[in-house]
Chains A and B, each alone.
Chain A
């Protein structure tokens, strides 16, 4: 810890960190929140310092992944002598392969142009950012996979599983996303999310523009999508509708490790949580599946979500021997 103590900058950052800790404390009062707002309004220096500490604090939530299942809290879990043995930290064969692939790509420049394709994937609850050789960026959500192939003057990315955000860097070569049989040609500098569903997929354009061809073998039903448009498609065609910036931000809340609900049914919300967690939630009573929910939840905290649901609605939660949380009507 080689920080100079007593410096002005450090004083501000300490104060910001204390607010982050306080606001995240379940016992934080309205008066505390008001005092925080007043402090933050004092200067942009305070505002920026708070955002900085808050983002670091949120990043540290990933440590929950190290919690051994079902065990009572162990305060020395991360003791230096012990942490090397933690299962969550061991290198998977996948990670080793990736590291090797990254090195190979750095050493042999242009390895991709020889027709090699590279796959990137995430496990349940994992998120990952991949920056490609042309600086295009792919952000993978939970349980997702893409295969990248740059060759013959085309930058092609196939979404095989799950959901991802694609940001195509400006380049002379076209940037093409293949998903569920469809071909999406992204404009330079465009940013879009593609999510595979059980039947078809949904494309949401956040920046720039794209051309969507739901079924290239048939042709003639290409759709031009611009920023602020979402298109749902399957092999039989597609349908586009405008979406607000807020709606897009909510749909992409996972990039901040959150699920944003805005009037979705309990059934939809549960399905959403189940994408991110091994511990599954199920609804055993169809009469409650239509309840409407709003709020902002951590993707990796199904228990927090369940606690919110049981306190707001006449719903009871029971945990089965297999860890599944079952929701039923109370009373």
Chain B
């Protein structure tokens, strides 16, 4: 049983989590009226996906996750007190996510290293120092506490803050153009669709 849970989590890590940037971009389309937070949709999607007991039968994880996200968005829509016709119409118009990754995507590891270092450099000074000592030099929180003259729990708080900042940042796309062009307005998109 424990092994089975571990397998299920490994599947989630391997197949579902890497979809985060795509799912976030997709979720934004459901949140154009600003009444739902796309991050909430992704968060909920992950919680429902990891709960899937029949994960071994999922042949297309991207299609699976997209379906869940759409359902989450629909549920959020239903929970609203005032449902406008346009919200429903907009919802119907959103096309299924492009389930294939962008052509010729090269996740160059040096780029990734640079993105990670950028994220750390953006942290407040004390937080950045604690994080640097923990992740670059592998010092334990106790050692860091002694070195920086802080309590262990303060070091933990810095590390949590740094981790949250990085995980949020890494969930967005790194060094790759978004497939959904966010600069384009919604109405322009409609015109474009109408021409087809």
Contacts and interface: CB of A to CB of B under 8 A. Distances in A.
Interface of A: 1, 3-4, 7, 9, 12-14, 17-18, 20-22, 25-27, 43-45, 47-49, 51-53, 55-57, 59-67, 73-80, 83, 86, 88-89, 91-92, 95, 98-99, 102, 105-106, 120, 122, 126-133, 135, 169, 245, 249, 255-256, 301
B117 A21 contact: no
Nearest to B9: A51
Contacts of A60: 116, 135, 163, 166
A98 B111 CA distance: 11
| Most chain A CB inside 10 Å of its own CB: which residue of B51, B101, B110, B139 | B110
9 contacts: A44-B48, A48-B49, A62-B113, A63-B132, A76-B129, A78-B121, A83-B118, A126-B109, A135-B103
B49 A57 contact: no
A63 B10 contact: no
Interface of B: 7, 9-10, 12-14, 17, 20, 37, 39-40, 43-44, 46-51, 100-114, 116-118, 120-122, 128-129, 131-133, 135-142, 147-148, 156, 159-160, 163-168, 170-171
Q: Which 6 A-B pairs have the closest CB atoms?
A: A56-B167, A75-B129, A44-B51, A48-B46, A45-B47, A73-B137
A249 B171 CA distance: 25
B104 A21 contact: no
Given A17-B164, A301-B138, 19 more contacts: A17-B160, A18-B160, A22-B156, A48-B46, A48-B49, A49-B43, A57-B163, A59-B116, A62-B109, A73-B133, A75-B132, A75-B133, A95-B108, A95-B110, A131-B101, A131-B104, A131-B106, A131-B107, A169-B100
A21 B156 contact: yes
B28 to A, nearest CB: 15
Contacts of B118: 83
B109 A98 contact: no
Given A51-B50, A55-B17, A135 B132 contact: no
Given A20-B163, A52-B167, A102 B104 contact: yes
